[in-house]
Amino acid sequence: MSYAREDIENRCGVRDFAQAMQDKLYAKTRTGRGGWWNPAECSIEDLLTMLSNHIKKGDMVDIGNFAMMIWNRQRTERSKE
C-alpha cells in the first residue's frame, strides 16, 4: 500500500470515528450526561473507571470518548504545573 493511500485511509478513519464520537456525545448530553471537563463533578479516576467498564462492554465509540476526556483532563492538569 502506498503512503498516499495510507494517509487517505487514516484521515477518513479518524474523521468517521470523530463524527461517531461527537454524535454519541451530543445524544448523551441531551439526556443530561456531562461534566467530564469539571474536576468538581468528575475526577480523572472516575473517568478511568468508566473507561474500564466500557472496555468490558466493547463499545469502541464510548472507549474513544472516555480516552478523549481523560487525555484532555490530563493535558489540562499538566499545563497547570
Read off the pLDDT of residues 36-55 as tens digits, 9 standing for 90 and up: 999 999 999 999 999 999 99
Mean pLDDT of the chain: 95
pLDDT of 27 strictly over 90:
yes
pTM of the model: 0.89
The pLDDT > 70 percentage for the chain reads 99
Q: Is 34 helix (H, G, I), strand (E, B) or coil?
A: coil
Closest Cα to residue 54, out of 38, 76, 70, 40?
70
According to the model, what pLDDT value does residue 18 have?
98
Distance CA 56, CA 78 (A): 29
Q: What's the whole-number mean pLDDT along residues 10-18?
A: 97
In the chain, what are the helix, strand and coil shares in percent, each to the nearest 5?
A: 80, 0, 20
